[in-house]
Structure 1
Amino acid sequence: MLARWEKRLSTQGQVTDGWLLLATFSLLVVGWIMVTSASSEIATSLTGNPYYFSIRHGVFVLCSIFFGLVALCIPLERWRFWGPGLLLLGIVLLIAVLLIGHEVNGSKRWIPLGFANIQASEVAKLCLIVYFADYLQRYLPEVRRDWGAFLRPFVVLGVYVALLIFEPDYGAVVVIGGCMMGMLLMSGAPLGRFGLVMIVVVAAGGLLAVAEPYRLERITSFANPWADQYSSGYQLTQALIAFGRGHWLGLGLGNSVQKLFYLPEAHTDFVFAVLAEELGLVGAMGVVCLFALLVFRGLRIGRKAELRGWAFSAYLCYGISLVFGAQAFINIAVSTGMLPTKGLTLPLLSYGGSSLAVSCVMVALLLRVDAEIRAKTRATQTARQAKKQERGER
């Protein structure tokens, strides 16, 4: 029976990974619907048009799909060649956002271009993954053996983290740091080294948490948001109320109460809370399953590449899958009160052009790796059949 289900779920013989496409487009469609629902009231109050954010999000989705199609046409070898340049591009963007960035809620995270704003941390995330995948391909034996090769990536990560802290964008720090640590772990580096590094990371994180009063206040309010539900715990308590209203099947699409100016950032960072209120536990778990499917297919493609000896493709897939998984987990955990509040979007679902564009490019890279694996497999099978025919003729 298990073999039968495995055969049904297999994508062998297909043009591309259909399950990955299904998860991606399902999340894009659900995201567009939920942004439309969650933003209607605030859009009406700000612009008079209830579909203002919905129309903009729709344009973002179409543009992001276009960027993804462009990325899909670029060979992986070209991406690998661009690795060092992309690393520098990420650093330049993170510096530029500190100099000319647009400040929102006390943070400089967006570079204004007139017609749109670019969130530098989203682009830098992709740049670092591509560079680090290239680094692991070039120095994989040394990373597994030598302390120097193991620690060198942390110098690069330190530059990114320092620039992100100045914005500040601690959510991106956690995602990027966790992604790089995960890629190192999957590369086969010794576990003992991770223990020492984790001690340093946890100590540094603890110091950062208590260095500023507002950070400590966030942690204490996260532990008990109801103690100060009209101040530091307001956003989390409103999100929890949304979850409570949702029950099993939700209030129905468009019937959220918390989006009526109770829940701040309802169509961006806390769109999952509105989704849970309107679609209930069933809808929320459906979205979680879609993210799990997306991450699983990405890791599976990476594993196939690793078995073929394609180190760059493998660690590129691992890094992208880890970013999707970590960012989705953190956003959902923040909405449900499992983690302190952070400004982090839900990939492919929250409102925002930069996040959507980078997420679609990442999915395109997964599909590109899968396409090259399938092309190589077909070429190998054709060569084998040609040899068999040649032997038969003889």
Structure 2
Amino acid sequence: MFVGAVDLPMLIVSLAILGLGLVMVASSSVSVAARETGNAFYFFDRQAVYALLGIGAAVFAFNTRLAMWERSGMALLLFTYFLLLMVLIPGIGHQVNGSIRWIGFGAFNVQVSEPTKLFMAIYLAGYLVRRQGEVCNTLRGFAKPMLVMVIAAALLLVEPDYGSAVTLLAMGLGMLFLGGARLSQFALFLLLTLIAVAVLAVSSPYRVERLTGFLNPWAHPYSSGYQLTQSLIAIGGGSWWGVGLGESVQKLFYLPEAHNDFLFAVLAEELGLVGIVLVVVLFSFLVFRGFRIGARAAEAGNPFAANLAYGLTIWIGMQAFINMAVNMGILPTKGLTLPLMSYGGSSMVINCMALGFLQRIHRETVEGDATPARGRRRRRRAT
């Protein structure tokens, strides 16, 4: 019963990515950890704890009925705004590397952008069920949920967290498109977004430099282009087969955030092109299974589950793509982690929980428990 309720290929791939991530966190952080803490496996030990907490969160999501989350959409939206506002209050939000993104809860710091993406996906999935006709037929139906997303993205930009803002908007647009919104509405929103980005860029020379600096990082290899040039050196040094696990040179205090945002570069140096292809294939397969789970939920008559599966899959796939693209100099630096692999508690726990939701969607689909929350409420009132 349990095996049939789980999407086994997705589970295997998820565990493979998680395991590879733990190995690379250990490899990429030993030097920094030994220097800063005296324990070479300090970051690995903490990441292992985060992984266990993430697995617990995934099990919780897997064993919780989707109808409960559908009914909680508005409460989760309000809680999301509460977190995004709280982190900006001096004394509550913690600043790291010039960004205020974390709120302390005892021994843990929570990066508010991570639950924001999950809770927004849940809210929007429910909205698309309640307002399906309005979203498909009117500009107002499209504009209202996008306004909700834009407000959240604007609060993320204040931190600033550009990568999470881009991921959130991409997830929202993808969910609306798959939910039946018109293509003309997307064109209008993209046009307005490009105009807003242009205005913001022109208003600040710093933003112009940030947006264009990745095009030629070698022009400033010891200042604005330092992190990217070190990443490119690492990736280029890996060649076909890599220099060997644990043998990276760039992680030895050359490449900042080697165990975090730029873990992919260390992996490329140690495992080479083979390692790069392996990671790309694993994430591609994860995305494929996620969309397949969503399509099966739609066929089974559970639009909330389908919308949520699409949103979670777009989010994880988009974040993985952006992180790898940043490491290779295809996109400007965004400060996004590689899901399930980069060091970080908030990202690990929330990403695992998202995968738990995907498994729950699969479970309710195969077990035939796909009655939407509103349908169940109407049925109870009728009886």
- What is the TM-score of this pair, normalised by structure 1? 0.91
Per the TM alignment, residue 148 of structure 1 is displaced from its structure 2 partner at its CA by: 1.3
Aligned equivalent of 2:226, options 225, 234, 250: 234
Q: 2:20 is matched with which residue: 14, 19, 30?
A: 30
Q: What are the residue-to-residue correspondences of 1:172-251 with 2, within 5 Å?
A: 172-251=164-243
Tell me how far apart the structure 1 counterparts of residues 117 and 353 of structure 2 sit (CA, whole Å): 12
Aligned-partner SS, 1:255: coil
Change (3 A) 1:58 1:187: same
1:209 counterpart SS class: helix
- SS of alignment partner, residue 368 of structure 2: helix
Q: Distance in 1 between matches of 2:210 and 2:226?
A: 11
Deviations 1:318-366 (A, max 9, x none): 0000001110000000000000011100110100000001001100000
1:50 maps to 40
- Relative to structure 1, the CA distance from residue 237 to residue 76 in structure 2 (aligned partners, 3 Å threshold; closer, same or farther) is same
Shift of 1:97: 0.7
- Paired with 1:16 and 1:125, the residues of 2 have a C-alpha distance of 24
Q: Residues 19-78 of structure 1, C-alpha deviation per residue, up to 9 Å, x if partnerless?
A: 110111011100000000000000011011100001000000001101111111110000
- Which residue identity lines up with residue 29 of structure 2 in the other structure? S
Q: Structure 2: how far apart are the matches of 1:214 and 1:42?
A: 30
Query: In the alignment, residue 33 of structure 2 is paired with which amino acid?
Result: A
Matched, 1:39 2:63: no
Distance (whole Å) between structure 2 residues aligned to residue 351 and residue 211 of structure 1: 34
Equivalent residue number for residue 5 of structure 1: none
Match of 2:85 among 95, 99, 107: 95
The offset of 1:203, in angstroms, is 1.2
Is 1:156 the counterpart of 2:148? The answer is yes
Q: What is the CA distance between 1:207 and its match in structure 2? A: 2.2
Letter aligned with residue 50 of structure 1: A
Secondary structure, aligned partner of 1:350: coil
Q: Is the alpha carbon distance of 1:210 and 1:349 closer, same or farther for their aligned partners in structure 2, counting shifts above 3 Å?
A: farther
Q: Does 1:293 align with 2:281?
A: no
> Deviation at 1:195?
0.8
Unaligned runs of 5+ in 1: 1-12, 379-394
Secondary structure of the corresponding residue to residue 150 of structure 1: helix
CA contact (8 A) 2:320 2:339 kept: yes
Q: Give the C-alpha shift of residue 236 in structure 1.
A: 0.4
**Residue 216 of structure 1, CA deviation:** 1.6
For the residues of structure 2 that align with 1:158 and 1:174, how far apart are their CA atoms?
A: 10
Q: CA separation in 1, counterparts of 2:273 and 2:184?
A: 40
The correspondence for 1:83, drawn from 55, 73, 77, is 73
Classify the secondary structure of the residue corresponding to 2:103: strand
- Once the two structures are TM-superposed, the CA of residue 190 in structure 1 deviates from its matched residue by 1.2
Confirm or deny that 1:127 pairs with 2:115.
Answer: no
Structure 1 residues 14, 71: closer, same or farther in 2, change over 3 A?
A: closer
Instruction: State the Cα distance separating 1:129 from its structure 2 match.
Output: 0.4
Structure 1 CA distance for aligned equivalents of residues 139 and 333 of structure 2 = 35
Q: Distance in 1 between matches of 2:300 and 2:367?
A: 13
Q: How much has 1:114 moved relative to structure 2?
A: 2.9
Which whole-Å CA distance do the structure 1 matches of 2:7 and 2:359 have between them? 7
Which structure 2 residue ranges, 5 or more long, are not aligned?
371-383
Which among 61, 81, 98 is matched to residue 106 of structure 1? 98
Other-structure match for 1:61: 51
1:332-347 matches, within 5 Å, as 332-347=324-339
Q: Does 1:282 align with 2:274?
A: yes
Letter matched to residue 148 of structure 1 = R
Letter in 2 for 1:171: G
Paired AA for residue 80 in structure 2: G
Decide whether the 8 Å contact of 2:28 with 2:258 is kept in 1.
yes
Distance 1:51 1:282, change over 3 A: same
Q: Percent identity?
A: 49
Tell me, in whole angstroms, the C-alpha distance in 2 between the residues paired with 1:375 and 1:296.
21
Aligned equivalent of 2:7, options 13, 17, 29: 17
The 2-side partners of 1:162 and 1:219 are apart by: 18
Calculate the aligned-residue CA RMSD, in Å: 1.3
How many Å apart are 1:377 and its aligned residue? 8.6
Letter in 2 for 1:17: D
Give SS of 1:250's match: coil
Deviation at 1:15, TM superposition (A): 3.9
**How far 1:188 moved relative to its partner?**
1.6
Q: TM-score if structure 2 supplies the norm length?
A: 0.94
Corresponding residue SS for 2:110: strand
**Number of residue pairs aligned between Structure 1 and Structure 2:** 366
Q: Which amino acid aligns with 1:354?
A: S
Supply the distance in 1 between the matched residues of 2:166 and 2:5 (Cα, whole angstroms).
36
Shift of 1:211: 3.0
| Paired residues of 2:237 and 2:269 also in contact (CA < 8 A) | yes
What letter corresponds to residue 217 of structure 2 in structure 1? P
